[in-house]
């Protein structure tokens, strides 16, 4: 989908009298191309303004002078809300029609499986009853989908993966902008999900598509049942997540991270390679790799155990 910048401005109720160029998408300041719209709504991203390649940016007037000469300013005091309104213009248009996929050799597909358009399967793919495979999905050779797996449009699944029943990959992330009256406006999630090779995903997991760009589950990772992965997360290679782990949006896990049952993270943080989060651990800030953490907020596990012992000792003195 391509819109004139003036069409976007009109749709989101912003005055515009600049160069009326074509816009083909929305992305962050850091990654937007010269044909995309972006937005600025937090001072922590100030350093990205001067280097953005975006064609236009939703921005407050007091920051507009920081944009490079090639980037047009769309002046608003509600940049995030206007982003939400603009995202709807680029939302993928869904169709209920069935299509025939491009099949590799020796595939075994139950007749009840629904395929969208432009689906490609590698060799030796097995898809069991009741699965839904949306538009523009690719599934690598040797992958198995158990019954009632749902793959939303543009999802990419690698080779030799196993996805268990009830799992949904590519659903919308939990993203909303808020009006001054406290109303919630949907930010349409226009990215995708990529599952790399040799990944196993348990039953009834939900892996959200990215707002822009991609949510990644890297090679060799194993997810237990009932896990939630938020939009734009990047789960590193050979990571292990036990049941009921929850990752808030834009969490980055390094290689070989281990997360115990019911542990979780806040969003926009990083956990280093070979870190372990014990069961029920709550991660509220970025953590170094190579260490074990526990408790809430998560601290080094040995320190947390000492803290619990001190608390228990206080109770015994009462």
Question: Which residues are part of the catalytic machinery?
Answer: 231
Closest CA to 58 of 86, 34, 33, 35: 86
Answer yes or no: are the C-beta atoms of 168 and 206 closer than 8 Å: yes
**Main-chain dihedrals φ then ψ at residue 61, nearest 5 degrees:** -60, -35
DSSP state of 18: S
The whole-angstrom separation of Cα 18 and Cα 4 is 11
- With b for 16 or more beta-carbon neighbours within 10 A and e for fewer, the 284-303 pattern comes to eeebebebbbbbeebeebee
Q: How far apart are CA 267 and CA 288, in angstroms?
A: 16
SS3 310: helix
DSSP at 209: P
Distance CA 221, CA 114 (A): 27
Within 8 A by CB and 6+ apart from 306, the residues are none
Q: Is 254 within 8 Å of 233 (Cβ atoms)?
A: no
Collapsing DSSP to helix, strand or coil, 126 comes out as: strand
Q: Are 159 and 197 in contact (CB under 8 A)?
A: yes
């Amino acid at each position: 989908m391509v819109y004139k910048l003036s069409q976007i401005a009109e749709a989101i109720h912003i005055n515009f009298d600049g160069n009326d160029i074509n816009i083909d998408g929305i992305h962050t300041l850091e990654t937007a191309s010269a044909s995309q719209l972006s937005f600025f709504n937090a001072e922590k991203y100030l350093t990205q303004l001067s280097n953005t390649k975006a064609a236009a940016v939703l921005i407050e007037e007091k920051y507009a002078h920081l944009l490079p000469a090639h980037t047009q300013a769309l002046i608003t005091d509600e940049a995030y809300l206007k982003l939400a309104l603009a995202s709807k213009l680029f939302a993928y248009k869904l169709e209920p029609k069935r299509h025939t996929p491009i099949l590799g050799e020796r595939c075994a597909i139950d007749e009840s499986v629904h395929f969208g358009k432009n689906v490609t399967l590698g060799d030796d793919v097995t898809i069991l009853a009741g699965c839904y495979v949306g538009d523009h999905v690719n599934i690598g050779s040797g992958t198995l989908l158990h019954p009632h797996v749902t793959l939303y449009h543009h999802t990419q699944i690698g080779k030799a993966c196993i996805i268990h029943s009830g799992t949904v990959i590519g659903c919308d992330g939990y993203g909303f902008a808020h009006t001054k009256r406290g109303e919630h406006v949907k930010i349409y999630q226009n990215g995708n999900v990529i599952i790399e090779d040799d990944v196993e995903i348990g039953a009834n997991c939900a892996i959200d598509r990215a707002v822009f760009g991609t949510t990644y589950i890297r090679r060799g990772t194993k997810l237990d049942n009932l896990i939630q992965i938020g939009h734009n997360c990047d789960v590193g290679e050979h990571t292990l997540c036990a049941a009921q782990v929850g990752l808030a949006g834009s969490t980055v896990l390094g290689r070989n991270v281990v997360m115990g049952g019911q542990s979780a993270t806040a969003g926009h943080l990083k956990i280093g390679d070979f870190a372990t989060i014990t069961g029920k651990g709550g991660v509220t800030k970025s953590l170094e790799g190579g260490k074990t953490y526990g408790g809430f907020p998560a601290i080094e596990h040995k320190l947390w155990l000492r803290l619990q012992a001190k608390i228990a000792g206080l109770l015994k003195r009462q």
